[in-house]
Amino acid sequence: MRVIFMGTPDFSVPTLTEIVSSGHEVVAVYTRAPKPAGRGQEERKSPVHVAAEGFGIPVFTPRSLKGADEQGVFALHDADLAVVVAYGLLLPKPILDAPRLGCINLHGSLLPRWRGAAPIQRAVMAGDSQTGVMVMQMDEGLDTGAVGLGEVIPIGPDMTAGELHDTMMRVGADLMGRALAAIDRGSMDFTPQSEDGANYAKKIEKAEARIDWSRPAEEVHNHIRGLSPFPGAWFEIELGGKPVRVKALRSTLGAGNGVPGTILGDLTITCGTGAVRLTQVQREGKGAMDAATFLRGAGTLPPTVL
C-alpha cells in the first residue's frame, strides 16, 4: 500500500521501521517541526524525522494541518492509508478523509479505558494491572474511533511508566504490522467503541509531580512509578541545613506506619497509611542513583521529609 506515516517521538520509530520493512511504500512522513534544544539552542529534528531521512523518505513538518494549502499537499500524496503514532497535531476532517482507506492510529491503552494525551502514565498512576495497545480507525472525536486490533500488556506492581512505554513501543510496532497486512487483504473489521468505562488521560502537568505523603502508600507508589522517568515525582529533604529537591524514580511498598513523611530508615517513608520504600532517586543536579548510594552521600538524614 501507499502509506503516509505521521509521528514524532521515539515511541513512533519502531512502527515506521516495521511498515518500511514490511514492503509498504511510505510516500511521506509527517512529523513535528524541529525545535531549539541544548545549550546552543540549535534546532533538533524529531526521532521520526531522523529515521525517515535514513530511509530516504520525504519529510513534511507543517505547523498546522488546518489550512487549504497543507491539505492540498497532503491529498497529492495519493495515499491508500495514513498511519498515526503520537504525531502531536490534530487532524481535521479533510486530512482524515484524504487517504483512500482513511487514517488509523496506534493508541496506548485498552480503549475506551484511557483516551487522551497521557494514557501510559495515567494507567500506571491509577494502579491498573493491565493495559494494551490498539489500532483504531480515526474520526473527529478524541480517540473515539472504531477498533480493529488490540494486544493486552500486563502492568507489574513496580513497573514504571518508562518501562511500560518501551514495552508498548515494541508490541505496538508488531501490532501495526499485522493490522496493515489485514487491511491490505481486506480482512480487517473495525468494531465501534463502547462509551462505558471511558476516561480522559489528561496531559501530565509539572504541578502534579510533588509527592503528597498524606495519601495511602499504594497511591504514592503508583504516583512515583507513573511519573518515572519524566517528569519525575519529587519531594524535598533537608540536607546540610537547606532543602534539596529529590526525584523518586523507583519505589516499592514498604513496612511501617507513622506521621506521613517520617523517614523510617533505608529511605522508607511513611504515608497516610502504610509506607513506601524508595529504591532509586535523583538528587537535583546529580544523576540517578540507588538508595544506598544516596544515603552514603547524604549523611545524617532529618526525621521527616518536607
Instruction: Specify whether the CB–CB gap between 272 and 216 falls below 8 A.
Output: yes
* Length, in residues, of the chain: 306
Residue 306 assigned as binding residue: no
Peptide linkage before 231 cis (omega within 30 of 0): yes
Q: Is 22 known to sit in a ligand binding site?
A: no
d(CA 46, CA 38): 14
Distance separating alpha carbons of residues 148 and 184, to the nearest angstrom: 13
For the chain, list the strands marked E by DSSP. Answer: 2-7, 25-30, 35-37, 42-44, 59-60, 81-85, 103-107, 130-137, 147-154, 233-239, 242-254, 263-265, 268-270, 275-283, 288-290
Decide the pairing of beta strands 2-7 and 42-44.
unpaired
Q: What DSSP state is assigned to residue 206? A: G
What grid cell was written down for 268? 522508607
Query: Is 111 part of any known ligand binding site?
Result: yes
Nearest to 160 by CA among 228, 104, 93, 223: 228
Q: CB 33: neighbour CB atoms within 10 A?
A: 13
Tell me how far CA of residue 289 lies from CA of 176, 282, 304, in angstroms.
Answer: 36, 6, 21
- 191 burial (CB, 10 Å; 0-12 / 13-18 / 19+) is exposed
Degrees to nearest 5, angle at CA 53 with 47 and 55: 105
90 is in an annotated binding site: no
Feature table: binding site for (6S)-5,6,7,8-tetrahydrofolate: 109-112
Feature table: binding site: 109-112
